[in-house]
Amino acid sequence: QATVCVIPMRTGFGIKNKTLEAMAAGTPVVASDRGLEGLAVDGANTPLRALRANQIAEYVEAISRLFEDGQLRQCVSENGRSLIETEYTWEVQGQRYEQVLLG
């Protein structure tokens, strides 16, 4: 069990499985905009589900915050896992796919 998952992606498109896998495991994620692409993880009216970093100093700060603040680490972990449990199950994704096919 990792304490933190760091995803410093610079290229790639769409939702990244490694991000979803870390969240499903309850591991707090620190990732670039590219690594969090397509996921509602922060912002207004959104629970904090991952920490965003795009520069080396931002990664250092975010990782340090998670190591130093157990409450933040637990919050990000629980919120990330909750996102997976409610939005990325086979059932939910199957329903969305069915809606696309049926119009």
37: DSSP letter: T
Higher-scoring residue by pLDDT: 65, 45: 65
| Domain count across the chain | 1
Task: Quote the pTM value.
Answer: 0.88
Mean pLDDT value across residues 21-29: 97
Among residues 31, 26, 27, 40, the alpha carbon closest in space to that of 10 is found at 31
Q: For position 79, which CATH number holds?
A: 3.40.50.2000
- Which residue range(s) make up the domain with 53? 5-102
Token code pair at residue 60 = 């250092």
In the chain, which ranges are E strands? 5-7, 29-31, 51-52
Asked whether residue 8 carries a pLDDT value surpassing 80, the answer given is yes
Q: What is the rounded (10 degree) CA torsion for 61, 36, 20, 43?
A: 80
Asked whether residue 15 carries a pLDDT value surpassing 80, the answer given is no
